[in-house]
A = this chain, B = another copy of it.
Amino acid sequence: MAVYTTLSAADLAALIGEYEVGQLVSAKGIAEGVSNSNWVVETTGPGGAGGRYILTMYEARVEAADLPFFLGLLDHLSARGSPVPRTVHDRAGAAYRTVRGKAVALIEFLPGVSVDEPTAAQAHAVGAALARLHLDAADFPGQRANAMALPHWHTLLAACGEDGLYSIDPGLPELVASELSYLSANWPRDLPRSVIHADLFPDNVLLLGDKVCGLIDFYFACTEVTAYDLAVTHSAWCFARGGTYRPGIGEALIAGYQSRRVLSEAERKALPVLARGAALRFVASRAYDWLHTPRGALVTRKDPMDFARRLSFYATDGDRAFSASAG
């Protein structure tokens, strides 16, 4: 959570002037987004009736070369009816502009709040929205390689070093080594692929009651095994704050998903290994960040052990958990 860059009132007014959205009324930097700076911007609106937007400035972690994919995807999905914010294009038709050397995009503001302990009805709705996203993305022409796939887990974890992992938890080096080895040998091939969100944590879903109003923060979206996205979402949504698995939430998530897109037999069978991969992916990035985030940084480090415990759960109980839900 951070606003990394200061934009002056003059910068903001000039920027807003490039869009058909009326005059700037208000702008508040918001404490969201790890890889970019965000503002809630209010304007007098294209027709004078008021408009609200999220202004995103892309910082180091997002490659400008990826922006046409990310922003084009938002426009594609929202045009199909997925609850995804559309981008506002400037008067020249561009989906992003450059301010002070950094790319910025003006994005539709969506209602809703993020939950941290979802109900089964909410998990069902999120599963359905994820399946819809996969279906709506089917004819999106963009492609993007997954920059956080299995080979990158190896790289990140190697950069942590055994000592680094040990400093986080004495059991972590062994868990990581055995899972990397298991996943390298058993990662599924030939499953259906599509564009996936790849990071659909509760933070990235805006809900009002049981209704999904927004899926946001597509900056890990990529072309990947479709069912891996469900596994990522499962790993992110289906555990209580203390770390215990919530079977009712897992079952609702998968039932919701299958209410829109039925998993193939091969996908169903692959869910346990995909979930181990998903959990290891977050262990890898969080352990790396834990060891490499400078003191004094504005970003709150996330404890890698949360996902190490989920990884252990999937390794020992994943088959049972998924056969109960996706059987």
A contact residues vs B (CB 8 Å cutoff): 1-3, 8-10, 12-13, 24-32, 40, 42, 109-117, 206-208, 295-298, 300
Query: Once the chains bind, are A30 and B27 in contact (CB under 8 Å)?
Result: no
Question: Would you give the shortest CB distance from A195 to chain B, in whole angstroms?
Answer: 27
Contact status of A1 and B29, CB under 8 A, knowing A111-B42, A114-B9, A298-B298: yes
Contacts of A296 in B (CB 8 A): 295-297
Question: Would you give the shortest CB distance from A111 to chain B, in whole angstroms?
Answer: 5
A sample of 18 more A-B contacts (CB under 8 A), given A1-B3, A295-B295, is A1-B31, A3-B31, A8-B115, A8-B117, A9-B116, A9-B207, A12-B113, A24-B208, A25-B111, A25-B112, A26-B113, A26-B206, A30-B31, A40-B40, A42-B111, A296-B296, A298-B298, A298-B300
**Cβ contacts A to B, 8 pairs, < 8 Å:** A1-B29, A8-B115, A9-B116, A25-B111, A28-B40, A29-B32, A295-B296, A296-B297
Query: Once the chains bind, are A8 and B40 in contact (CB under 8 Å)?
Result: no
With both beta carbons as reference points, the residue of chain B lying nearest to A41 in the complex is identified as B113
How many copies of this chain does the complex contain? Answer: 2
Give A12 to B27 CA distance when docked, in angstroms.
22
Give A81 to B15 CA distance when docked, in angstroms.
32
Give A93 to B12 CA distance when docked, in angstroms.
38
With both beta carbons as reference points, the residue of chain B lying nearest to A116 in the complex is identified as B8
Contacts of A1 in B (CB 8 A): 3, 29, 31
Give A2 to B32 CA distance when docked, in angstroms.
11
Give A243 to B316 CA distance when docked, in angstroms.
63
Contacts of A298 in B (CB 8 A): 298, 300
With both beta carbons as reference points, the residue of chain B lying nearest to A24 in the complex is identified as B113
Contacts of A109 in B (CB 8 A): 26
Contacts of A2 in B (CB 8 A): 31
Q: Which residue from B8, B25, B29, B115 sits with its C-beta under 8 Å from A9?
A: B115
Kindly list the 5 A-B residue pairs having the minimum CB-CB distance in the complex, ordered from nearest: A29-B31, A9-B113, A9-B115, A3-B31, A28-B30
Question: Would you give the shortest CB distance from A323 to chain B, in whole angstroms?
Answer: 31
Give A42 to B52 CA distance when docked, in angstroms.
11
Q: Which residue from B10, B26, B29, B117 sits with its C-beta under 8 Å from A112?
A: B26
Query: Once the chains bind, are B3 and A113 in contact (CB under 8 Å)?
Result: no
Give A103 to B57 CA distance when docked, in angstroms.
33
Give A298 to B301 CA distance when docked, in angstroms.
12
Contacts of A295 in B (CB 8 A): 295-296
Give A116 to B114 CA distance when docked, in angstroms.
33
Give A24 to B111 CA distance when docked, in angstroms.
9
Question: Would you give the shortest CB distance from A33 to chain B, in whole angstroms?
Answer: 11
